Amino acid sequence: MSKTIIISNRLPLQLKIHDNTIETVPSVGGLATGMKSVHSQSDSLWIGWSGLTEEEFNLDLKTQVNAALKKHQCVGVPLTEDDIEGFYYGFSNNTLWPLFHYFMEYTEFEKSTWETYKMVNQKFADVVLQHIEDGDTVWVHDYQLLLLPDLIRKKKPDTSIGFFLHIPFPSYEVFRTIPCREDLLKGMLGADLIGFHTYDYERHFLSAVQRILGHEINFNNIHLDNRMVKVDSFPMGIDYDKFHNAAKTHDQKSNKEQTEIQQEINKHLKEGSNQAKLILSIDRLDYTKGIANRLRAFEYFLDKYPQFKGKARLVMLAVPSRANVPQYQKLKNEIDQLVGRINGKFAEVSWTPIWYFYRSMPFENLIDLYTSSEVALLTPIRDGMNLVAKEYIASRVDKKGVLILSEMTGASNEMGEALIINPNNFEEIADTLKFALEMPEEEQIKRNNALQKRLKRYNVEKWASDFFEALEATKNDTKKYILK
């Protein structure tokens, strides 16, 4: 019987070693949730890195690891510390990530990390080829595995292969600067269907293919010598019901059942003179997310509209990420300093303008923050989609709350009822914040009603099933094309 093989850099679970035994914890990230419906089918397999390097476990543990993964229909790709250094921290996060997000000044082109990237993509291919059978369908995810579709195609030419990019695809003028541009495009073109979050990313990719490789393009079909590749946009959704239902039960919790964070928030809301509205910001700590800009814009807002001192508070949550890449360490220091400076400048005895958390939070705490904040302020400089924007809206059971969202996120294309801003325009952010904090409730409800309906309909399951249907259809089109 044919099966589906999902491949991503990381597996949808985390492994922990306790007293020489292995424990598995499922990941809660968007991709893991999104693919759950596909992966839970009895005939699916997920291939990726387990999060533990080869150096981290001995032979005995390795058998345990493989058995634990097998229970979850997963297979690990064995990677060493050097692999992770060159492939993940090096080429993926020092070259592709900044380049694809238009941070050319951060983009390093190093031959050695490119060599490791190629070698690790081959390691993924080797594991896939050990498990693939005729008739299987393969879905490869994201920028760490751009070469994989073609590596599989070369050995298994009849396989149906889909590829989805979770980050932006940059404009041709930016993409052309990378020395290995041809190899990257050829790698992706091993797929039958290539998906992006937005039409813009799709257009950028088609234009790069046309200008760099010279292939003929007909609408969104790329004609290769013996095959056709289809390119399309599939905006990723969230598990709407999970967020909405969690927010519903959250409101019914007794004091005792509440999390520590919720008790703190409640205390703050009850403090007599302290009627500050909460402005929420949540991201991984990443330079693409515009966190420093957001802080500066918030400072400018308090300077321009001093009537909000004591009346508004920024709750900023940053999840530690890629902490051993130098740019991320620099950014962390910059943010620490900015928060300290702004709090020092404006704080009063009963009010601090910014609450800053630098850590990952359990799901219940995210829900606490989503449901307690009157405004969400999301200002990425570039962001493939941005799921936090969608999660915030899904969690607003009473339909109140205002989303301020950067026009540089993929999500802004589908969320026109949000207040859309340019993240580099502090004037606009300050004015929009004032507008949001003063927006009448009826207007908030009207906007969120429309947003919620859309998010519920185009949830993450629909995203995955749309992609699979399109892949199936492409396979049939391709057959016709070959027959002609």
* CB of 53 vs ligand ADQ, minimal distance in Å: 22
* CB of 415 vs ligand ADQ, minimal distance in Å: 12
Max Cα–Cα distance, the chain, nearest Å: 77
Question: How many residues sit in the footprint of ligand ADQ (CB under 6 A)?
Answer: 19
Q: Which is nearer to ligand ADQ, 213 or 361 (CB)?
A: 361
**Binds ligand ADQ by CB under 6 A, chosen from 4, 12, 13, 30:** 30
Window of 48-56, 63-71, 199-207, 359-367 that interacts with ligand ADQ by CB under 6 A: 359-367
Tell me the C-alpha distance between 410 and 167, whole Å. Answer: 9
* CB of 376 vs ligand ADQ, minimal distance in Å: 12
Instruction: Name every residue whose Cβ is closer than 8 Å to that of residue 110 and which is 6 or more positions away in sequence.
Output: 90, 91, 94, 95
Beta strands in 71-227 (DSSP E): 74-76, 137-141, 160-164, 193-196, 216-218, 221-223
- What phi and psi, each to the nearest 5 degrees, are found at residue 407? -70, -10
Asked if 132 touches ligand ADQ (CB under 6 A), the answer is no
Tell me the C-alpha distance between 47 and 10, whole Å. Answer: 8
Other C-beta atoms within 10 Å of 268: how many?
18
Q: Which is nearer to ligand ADQ, 136 or 239 (CB)?
A: 239
**Binds ligand ADQ by CB under 6 A, chosen from 44, 386, 452, 459:** 386
**Binds ligand ADQ by CB under 6 A, chosen from 361, 439, 445, 470:** 361
Tell me the C-alpha distance between 18 and 20, whole Å. Answer: 5
Q: Could you say which residues in the range 40-79 bind ligand ADQ, by CB under 6 A?
A: none
- What phi and psi, each to the nearest 5 degrees, are found at residue 422? -90, 120
* CB of 142 vs ligand ADQ, minimal distance in Å: 8
Q: Could you say which residues in the range 222-241 bind ligand ADQ, by CB under 6 A?
A: 236
Q: Which is nearer to ligand ADQ, 164 or 346 (CB)?
A: 164
Asked if 391 touches ligand ADQ (CB under 6 A), the answer is yes
Window of 118-126, 333-341, 385-393, 422-430 that interacts with ligand ADQ by CB under 6 A: 385-393
402 sits in which H/E element: strand 402-406
Tell me the C-alpha distance between 462 and 224, whole Å. Answer: 30
Q: Which is nearer to ligand ADQ, 236 or 381 (CB)?
A: 236
Asked if 32 touches ligand ADQ (CB under 6 A), the answer is no
Tell me the C-alpha distance between 164 and 118, whole Å. Answer: 19
**Binds ligand ADQ by CB under 6 A, chosen from 5, 45, 184, 282:** 282
Tell me the C-alpha distance between 316 and 336, whole Å. Answer: 12
Contacts made by residues 264-269, CB under 8 angstroms, sequence distance 24+: 265/368, 265/369, 265/372, 269/372
Tell me the C-alpha distance between 479 and 484, whole Å. Answer: 9
Asked if 284 touches ligand ADQ (CB under 6 A), the answer is yes
Asked if 387 touches ligand ADQ (CB under 6 A), the answer is yes
**Binds ligand ADQ by CB under 6 A, chosen from 233, 259, 360, 424:** 360
Q: Are 342 and 353 a contacting pair, CB within 8 Å?
A: yes
**Dihedral, CA of residue 144, residue 235, residue 177 and residue 324, to nearest 10:** -40
> How big is the chain by its Cα radius of gyration, in Å?
23
* CB of 303 vs ligand ADQ, minimal distance in Å: 28
Tell me the C-alpha distance between 122 and 116, whole Å. Answer: 10
Q: Which is nearer to ligand ADQ, 30 or 76 (CB)?
A: 30
Q: Which is nearer to ligand ADQ, 397 or 430 (CB)?
A: 397
**Binds ligand ADQ by CB under 6 A, chosen from 146, 247, 366, 405:** 366
* CB of 383 vs ligand ADQ, minimal distance in Å: 4
Q: Are 163 and 194 a contacting pair, CB within 8 Å?
A: yes
Window of 1-9, 265-273, 382-390, 393-401 that interacts with ligand ADQ by CB under 6 A: 382-390
Window of 40-48, 51-59, 334-342, 358-366 that interacts with ligand ADQ by CB under 6 A: 358-366
* CB of 285 vs ligand ADQ, minimal distance in Å: 9
Measured in whole angstroms, how far is the alpha carbon of residue 463 from the centre of its chain? Answer: 14
Asked if 281 touches ligand ADQ (CB under 6 A), the answer is no
Q: Are 164 and 195 a contacting pair, CB within 8 Å?
A: yes
Asked if 202 touches ligand ADQ (CB under 6 A), the answer is no
Beta strands in 291-374 (DSSP E): 312-319, 354-358
Asked if 385 touches ligand ADQ (CB under 6 A), the answer is yes
Q: Which is nearest to 317 in space by CA: 266, 279, 371, 352?
A: 279
In one letter, which amino acid is 30?
G
**Binds ligand ADQ by CB under 6 A, chosen from 3, 36, 166, 181:** 166
299 sits in which H/E element: helix 291-304
Which three-class secondary structure state does DSSP give residue 329?
helix
Asked if 98 touches ligand ADQ (CB under 6 A), the answer is no
Give the interface with ligand ADQ as residue ranges (CB under 6 A).
29-30, 166-167, 236, 282, 284, 317, 319, 360-361, 366, 383-388, 391
